[in-house]
Chains A and B, each alone.
Chain A
Amino acid sequence: MASKIVPTQTKGLYDCRVLSNDEVARGIFLMRLHAPEIAARVQPGQFVNIKTQPHDSDEIAPLLRRPFSVCQTDRNAGWISILWKNVGPGTRMLSRHPIDTVLNIIGPLGKGFELTDENAAVALVAGGLGVAPMPILAAALHERRSSFTVLLGARTSAELWGKEELQRFGAQIRIATDDGSAGHRGFVTELLQNWIKEHDPIASRVYSCGPMPMLERVASICSAAKVRAEVAVETVMGCGFGICMGCPIQPREGVEQFGRYYLACLDGPVFCADDIRYESTSH
């Protein structure tokens, strides 16, 4: 058989030391992990799947790993960071770990954002914990000298994180909060509508991450304005690397994949906003 197989060899399984684990906004934590192999290879929008118990623990629960977007990477110092929030048994476990705890991590995983070379207007749109992949994306865009705007949405100003982080990469920041405690009172997607109006017709690219209903809105706004948008979905996963098939994402009609499911872990977590249906992961 002449079929040639080239293994991708991009992901690995590593024991990583916790370097810091700080509450950076109310209920939101930034954990830095010593992970030189992942730091060297990770692309914006990719994720890691973390066993939340210490690597030498025999505790069975939580059973599965938990997926986290890579938030920042420092290739020289060999660390990555993740942003997390206490939402269940997996993340509750993370809150217990002191510095120097060793966690087992699989990564980098998934398909990340496609970085644009076009010298046109770019916006990053984040809702809630969806800000997680934005710093690593901003750093990559900054390296390419693209100027860009970040639209940050949160429930309230106390739960907002990332402003200073993103400003370091030359981003212009606009903020929306549900209660008006910072920036625009309302949805971050309303900021997006304004941004597109201001930049018509040079708006070229939108990158977004957040809850499914928000991403659906981003997709419809961008589709109507004919702006290319990429969205990073947040969904339940089993293994994170394609063997359990537990994270189906429904393709939209007319897409080549129509009639089969995407897997969020392999085909995503970043998708072209027009390629997927958003109700498929809402409970």
Chain B
Amino acid sequence: MNPLRIKIARLEFPNPVFVASGTFGYGQEAADLANLSALGALITKSIGAQPRRGNPHPRLFETTAGLLNSIGLQNVGVQSFIQEKLPFLRAQRVPLIVNVAGRTIDEYEEVVTALEAHEGILGYELNFSCPNVKEGGLEFSQKAEVTAVATARIRKLTKRLVIPKLTPNVTRVSEIARAAESEGADAVSLINTLTGMAVDIETWRPRINTIVGGYSGPAIKPVALAKVYETAKAVNIPVIGIGGIRNWQDAVEFFLVGASAVQVGTANFVDPRTAEKIVNGLQEYLERKGLASIDELRGGLRVEKRG
């Protein structure tokens, strides 16, 4: 039996290492650099009801072991996605989750409704947490009641997986996660980017166009671990851990604090084979530790008093 196999709701995934939305395009761009069938799942760049052109230059700024971005949800829109991107993704042997974004709950519904008519999609990750667009996005997951209403309305539309993606930019992310769980979410994924900024001291200008952007990369891993730890204790649905993961050791930390699966994000920009390397590393780690499955790792953090 495959020791890396995991389940979310009733669905089985070949391994718990996914690639995060916005860090693997629509699959095709990375297909000649990485083995898509090695991924536990591919989560697409956010799809909205209409195409979005995204934000102007500069969109990226590298910080110490981190990255500030302000892409602004540039995407092709759901109709082009269905016509131009979905056929390729469906032809790959990779579990597919579509990330959905919108300004209003109606827009999330519109995208999901359009996608429901097409096969080959296992679920929807709901981007309730993009910091780089003026409306919608972030404010959905900053308020538990809004997260609850949005989750409930999407839940009514689909039997596929519903996975709200949560922001760390709140007081207690576990409360938001509980709101999503109570309205039928199958899992939650976290963390999306932290808000961050950087300043050019010669020109006195912000380093990215929106002044404040999304902060990701190895530097945010400790924050992500703390949020996943908090959330995994608070909910009974799977928690998908995201934030600064670039090797199998990082992934193991997330499983130990309670994640059921992980997503690799920024690291894909540097090495699009990161996820498959993590899969191999996890396999060896389980063997070395004599563990039969990833489930035996999950939440295994030892917190008894030392002495």
Contacts and interface: CB of A to CB of B under 8 A. Distances in A.
A40 interface: no
Nearest to B247: A58
Interface string A1-13: 1010101111111
B87 A12 contact: no
B62 A13 contact: no
Interface in A1-27: 1, 3, 5, 7-13
Contacts of B7: none
A281 interface: yes
A243 B53 contact: no
B30 A243 contact: yes
B23 interface: yes
A11 B33 CA distance: 7
Given A5-B88, A235-B57, A280-B57, A11 B32 contact: yes
A248 B57 contact: yes
Contacts of B64: 61
B270 A243 contact: no
B54 interface: yes
A38 to B, nearest CB: 13
B269 A244 contact: yes
A243 to B, nearest CB: 4
Nearest to B119: A1
B54 A283 contact: no
Nearest to B90: A1
Contacts of A9: 32
A120 to B, nearest CB: 35
A9 B34 CA distance: 11
Contacts of A235: 57
Given A11-B32, A64-B62, A245 B54 contact: yes
B67 A280 contact: no
B217 interface: yes
A242 B269 CA distance: 9
Contact of A239 (B32, B56, B269, B273): B269
A60 interface: yes
Interface string A215-246: 00000000000000000000111110111111
A180 B51 CA distance: 50
A62 interface: yes
B294 to A, nearest CB: 24
A243 B29 contact: yes
Contacts of A246: 59-60, 69, 71
Contacts of A247: 57, 59-60
A51 B203 CA distance: 29
B56 A1 contact: no
B24 interface: yes
B97 to A, nearest CB: 16
A243 B203 contact: no
A123 interface: no
Contacts of A248: 54-57, 59, 74
Contacts of B32: 7-12
Given A10-B32, A63-B62, A283-B200, A1 B270 contact: no
A246 B70 CA distance: 8
Nearest to A2: B87
Contacts of A259: 53
Interface residues of B, number: 46
Main secondary structure of the interface of A (DSSP, over half): loop
B33 A65 contact: no
A43 to B, nearest CB: 16
A63 B32 CA distance: 22
A281 B57 contact: yes
Contacts of A3: 87-88
B266 interface: yes
A260 B87 contact: no
Interface in B255-282: 266, 268-273
A106 B23 CA distance: 16
Contact of B65 (A63, A106, A260): A63
A65 B74 CA distance: 22
A33 B87 CA distance: 38
Nearest to A10: B32
B74 to A, nearest CB: 5
Given A5-B91, A60-B65, A65-B270, A283 B33 contact: no
B51 A243 contact: no
Interface string B45-81: 1000001011111111110111101010010000000
B67 A238 contact: yes
Nearest to A60: B65
Contacts of A266: 29
The list of the 8 closest CB pairs from A to B, nearest first, reads A243-B25, A246-B60, A3-B87, A239-B269, A242-B29, A60-B65, A246-B59, A238-B269
Interface of B: 22-25, 28-33, 45, 51, 53-62, 64-67, 69, 71, 74, 87-88, 90-91, 200, 203, 205, 217-218, 246, 266, 268-273
Given A11-B33, A64-B62, A246-B71, 18 more contacts: A1-B90, A5-B88, A51-B270, A63-B62, A63-B217, A238-B60, A238-B69, A238-B269, A239-B269, A239-B272, A244-B71, A245-B74, A246-B59, A246-B60, A250-B57, A259-B53, A261-B53, A283-B203
8 contacts: A10-B32, A12-B32, A61-B65, A63-B65, A243-B30, A244-B22, A245-B25, A259-B53
